[in-house]
């Protein structure tokens, strides 16, 4: 399912935390913090942990697990990438393609170590303008 209400997100966090506790795993972000973010209705909420249970001496089988949700409105959250892209596009009056291209550009610039946000925005605007012609 791609859409969740606040209680379903809380249930996932709490049940995951119980499962981790049974394995002796600690979350990367405390459960209390995640639940507070939900109660504060922050736009992005995530819950993550690292599972070392299948680890060998060479470091094989270490898994980062978890989930993040984007708040669409008061009681609707999604973890679906397309739904998030569509929502962001509607808020910014762009197309989903524009949002995807911006994310790809962000990824490329991050790989290059560029952190100049103004340059990033200018590059994005130029690329969007070229595609629209």
Give one DSSP letter per residue of 59-86, joined into a string: -TT-EEEEEEEEEEETTEEE--HHHHHH
Tens digits of per-residue pLDDT, 81-104?
888 888 889 889 999 999 999 889
Sole residue written with tokens 């791609």: 2
108: pLDDT confidence band, cut at 50, 70 and 90?
confident
- On whether the pTM is more than 0.85, the answer is no
Tens digits of per-residue pLDDT, 40-85?
999 889 999 988 776 656 556 778 889 999 998 888 999 998 888 8
Spell out a b/e string for 49-58, using b for 16 or more CB atoms within 10 Å of the CB, else e.
Answer: beeeeeeeee
Contacts with 50 (C-beta within 8 Å, 6 or more apart), sequence order: 25, 28, 62, 63, 64, 65
Domain boundaries, the chain: 1-78, 80-133
């Amino acid at each position: 399912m791609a859409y969740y209400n606040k209680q379903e997100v809380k249930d996932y966090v709490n049940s995951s935390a119980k499962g981790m506790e049974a394995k002796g795993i600690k979350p990367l972000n405390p459960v209390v913090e995640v639940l507070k973010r939900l109660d504060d209705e922050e736009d992005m909420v995530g819950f993550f942990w690292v599972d070392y249970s299948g680890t060998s001496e060479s470091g094989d089988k270490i898994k980062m697990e978890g989930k993040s949700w984007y708040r669409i409105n008061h009681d609707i959250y999604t973890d679906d990438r397309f739904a998030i892209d569509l929502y962001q596009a509607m808020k910014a009056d762009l197309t989903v393609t524009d949002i995807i291209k911006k994310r790809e550009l962000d990824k490329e610039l991050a790989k290059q170590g560029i952190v100049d946000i103004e340059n990033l925005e200018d590059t994005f605007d130029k690329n969007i303008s070229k595609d629209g012609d």
